[in-house]
Chain A
Amino acid sequence: MAYDKFNILTSTAVPLAIENVDTDQLIPARFLKATERVGFGDNLFRDWRYNPDNTPKKDFVLNNPIYSGKILVGGKNFGSGSSREHAAWAVYDYGFRCVVSSFFADIFRNNCLNIGVLPVQVSPEFAEKIFEAIAADPNTELEVNLPEQTITLLASGEKETFEISPYKKDNMLNGFDDIDYLQSIKPEIEEFALHLPL
């Protein structure tokens, strides 16, 4: 399904300075039983966010009212493990539109791009700067500029460029998805299928 267009996002950010955040943490398997794409945000980081009795864990960043925003800043190797797209849905449904990390796992990155959440990979040094800036001032604003492919710490003006393929960039800017594209070349696919080795 087509998704929200992404252009320039200016927002405060939520810092999660933990490495190797896997998709089982983003959304534990027991919450994958829905047959529709609704309500996953409630269970984002469920077991880090809530005690077994469903009371919030006060020391977890999502439960700390001083942090908010549409950008999630994660540690290195964000989104590893299971291919569940539900992890990206949970990130989106919670209200994030962009995830920043110094390194993403492949499938999670793809899943984000396919639903309109922008994964922004920055250098480890810049990631550290972002964490430090937010630690010093939780109201620190970041600007994620997709047309320019830049991410900027607005207070200091420090910025870095990030990579995205021209094809995916165009999709994100216009809210197109891959199915639109694939549908448009169906005759070519059907012709191709006639000449496969298997």
Chain B
Amino acid sequence: MSKTLFDKVWDTHVVRKIEGGPDVLFIDRHLIHEVTSPVAFLGLKSRGIKVLYPERTFATADHNTPTINQHLPVADPLSANQLKALESNSNEYGISHWGLGHQKNGIVHVVGPEYGITQPGATIVCGDSHTSTHGAFGAIAFGIGTSEVEMVLSTQCIMQPKPKKMRINVNGKLGLGVTPKDVALFIISQLSTSGATGYFVEYAGDVFENMTMEGRMTVCNLSIEMGARGGMIAPDETTIEYVKGREFSPKGEAWDKALAYYKTLKTDADAVFDKELTFDGSSIEPMITYGTNPGMGMGISHEIPNADQVEGGAATYAKSLGYMGFSEGDSMIGKPVDFVFVGSCTNGRIEDFRAFTSLVKGRHKADNVTAWLVPGSHIVEAQIKEEGLLDILTEAGFTLRQPGCSACLAMNDDKIPAGKYAVSTSNRNFEGRQGPGSRTMLASPLVAAAAAVTGVVTDPRTLIENVEELV
């Protein structure tokens, strides 16, 4: 029978099917962080059970960590306690732990791929909804709750009903200044924040085939924002080139065996999806969100739609625009900006900083803007310095912080103050997401750069003089 990429990876990992129930799914790689793991370890302790395969779990601290002065003790006692719990639990159960100050520390979904923990055709879970990021490699990767973290620690399995399958095709040449983030925000704006709930998505078409691995990670990362459990892209030469030789990638004979498996990972020509959608990539323009969920996005040159043009109730829509301080019919261009945040598991990789830098080069940060540039890992941080980007950024009035999740969810001190507007390269514009009362406009690193140097929402295409310079 013909199978989709998703079927192939899923079926390979089903230990047992339960009549009238979920599948028991084997998990190859398990990533944990300090926030969603402590109660799972408590569960293990209260049951008196061990971690079955500690070598399949990797711990990194990221959600809570400060992004300045990481060499100093963490000031917030609650955060410090969580970081300590991750360390002691990892040590007790023999799990690799990349805590604050460790050279490999960074955002879990950035360091996983960097070190080759992420592999094509693997099943990967983490107590974090943006685990979908790893689908960029043709892995089945999705976020789980803490009860499920405990399941994976104790048995390396979780119990999941098999989701439905959706394919999203995007073909055509992307326009000037249109990045993978814009492609993803465009798709989400078309499907709404719940349009893919119950589905696992495969992205196909030449737009994704032509993307770098980092671009694919940005797209798959945002799958959850339209409700999908995850999204994946079939591995190709670009994928294999990226994976080969990384620290935890298979080596020698194991690599040859893995490679043979990777080559099987594509959807059969006549495989059927429960739902299939096709979009024209050339029609996408740089995107920005105007509301309080990621589905409320639009082309940056458009106007905020009227309630009767959008799905859902008028009361919820009015609440959302009221929170943002925007009105139906408003243009986003020229809206005030107080903060710019570049970072997160969505856009905290080197290509994101290259894009941002390409546009601020030779310009200067607007006086009214506070900019937080937060690399996703120490590798990204080092690249920013080695490639000379930091010199350009410094010249333009920007400083660089240290790796972590930072203002994406504002668990540490990086909080956007109440009522202030942020253009953010992260993934969620929910009420209070970036700090109580904060107002978030999600966008690409280029849109963030345009806002940072002009002090208002600006179409980056109006600032691009030399197309060749853009990454």
State the A residues within 8 Å of B (CB).
1, 17-20, 22, 24-25, 28-30, 32-37, 47, 52, 75-77, 80-86, 88, 103-107, 110-111, 114-115, 165-168, 177-179, 181-183, 185-186, 188-190, 192-193, 196-198
Contacts and interface: CB of A to CB of B under 8 A. Distances in A.
12 contacts: A17-B315, A29-B63, A29-B433, A32-B35, A32-B411, A33-B79, A37-B39, A82-B128, A165-B22, A182-B155, A183-B155, A197-B121
Most buried by B among A17, A103, A107, A190: A107
Given A35-B38, A83-B129, A107-B145, A19 B316 contact: yes
A20 B195 CA distance: 12
Interface string B227-269: 1010000000000000000000010000001100100000000
Nearest to A85: B145
B47 to A, nearest CB: 7
B90 interface: no
A107 B144 contact: yes
B34 to A, nearest CB: 9
A52 to B, nearest CB: 7
Contacts of B64: 33
Given A19-B313, A77-B193, 10 more contacts: A20-B194, A20-B312, A83-B144, A84-B35, A106-B197, A111-B147, A179-B151, A192-B15, A197-B257, A198-B261
Nearest to B410: A29
B43 A179 contact: yes
Contacts of B145: 83-85, 88, 107, 110-111, 114
Contacts of A182: 24, 151, 154-155, 157, 159
B22 A167 contact: yes
B24 A185 contact: yes
Most buried by A among B193, B194, B312, B410: B194
Query: Lowest 8 CB-CB distances: which A-B pairs, in order?
Result: A167-B21, A166-B20, A85-B145, A83-B143, A33-B78, A114-B147, A111-B145, A35-B38
Contacts of A52: 418, 436-437
A21 to B, nearest CB: 9
A7 B121 CA distance: 41
B316 A183 contact: no
Given A75-B313, A193-B26, A167 B20 contact: yes
Most buried by A among B13, B145, B224, B410: B145
A188 B16 contact: yes
Contacts, number: 208
Interface stretch (B99-107, B338-346, B424-432, B441-449): B424-432
A185 B15 contact: yes
Given A77-B197, A83-B36, A185-B24, A24 B431 contact: yes
B155 A179 contact: yes
A36 B20 contact: no
Contacts of A30: 410-411, 436
Given A52-B418, A196-B26, A81 B428 contact: yes
Contact of B155 (A24, A82, A165, A189): A189
B154 A183 contact: yes
B155 A186 contact: yes
B198 A189 contact: no
A198 B250 contact: yes
A40 to B, nearest CB: 11
A81 B226 CA distance: 9
Most buried by B among A83, A167, A177: A83
Contacts of B16: 185, 188
